[in-house]
Amino acid sequence: AQKVTQAQTEISVVEKEDVTLDCVYETRDTTYYLFWYKQPPSGELVFLIRRNSFDEQNEISGRYSWNFQKSTSSFNFTITASQVVDSAVYFCALSEARSYQLTFGKGTKLSVIP
């Protein structure tokens, strides 16, 4: 069974601070896919990144970066120089290749204080 744990329920940071959102996953499959989605206060769900289990390269996109470590079953998300617009709930999610199901973590609410 696939499982995603986001242990941080809520995080508050002051603008321009860096912040890391943790994601730990469980799967028995060797081929799987990991995702991050953002849900701003307006409520829509916005796709941020997809990573497959064979690609452990870290990824950077502007102020966002992702650290995938199979050894610790983690896929952490870092926002550098946070901004107020980064305030949102962030979800990590997992899909095993042989499953047609996407499993979400419970989300981390990030508040960036000006």
Partner 1 sequence: NAGVTQTPKFQVLKTGQSMTLQCAQDMNHEYMSWYRQDPGMGLRLIHYSVGAGITDQGEVPNGYNVSRSTTEDFPLRLLSAAPSQTSVYFCASSHRGASYEQYFGPGTRLTVT
Cβ proximity of 93 and 38 under 8 Å: no
Asked if residue 12 binds partner 1 (CB under 8 A), the reply is no
In whole angstroms, what separates CA 72 from the centre of its chain? 15
Q: Among residues 27, 76, 82, 95, which is the contact residue for partner 1, using CB under 8 A? A: 95
What does each C-alpha distance from 23 to 3, 29, 58, 72, 100 come to in angstroms? 10, 17, 14, 10, 21
- The answer to the question of residue 64 lying near partner 1 (CB under 8 A) is no
State which of residues 47, 58, 60, 111 lies at the interface with partner 1 (CB under 8 A): 47
Contacts with partner 1 by CB under 8 A lie at 6, 9, 32-33, 35, 37, 43-45, 47, 50, 91, 93, 95-97, 99-107
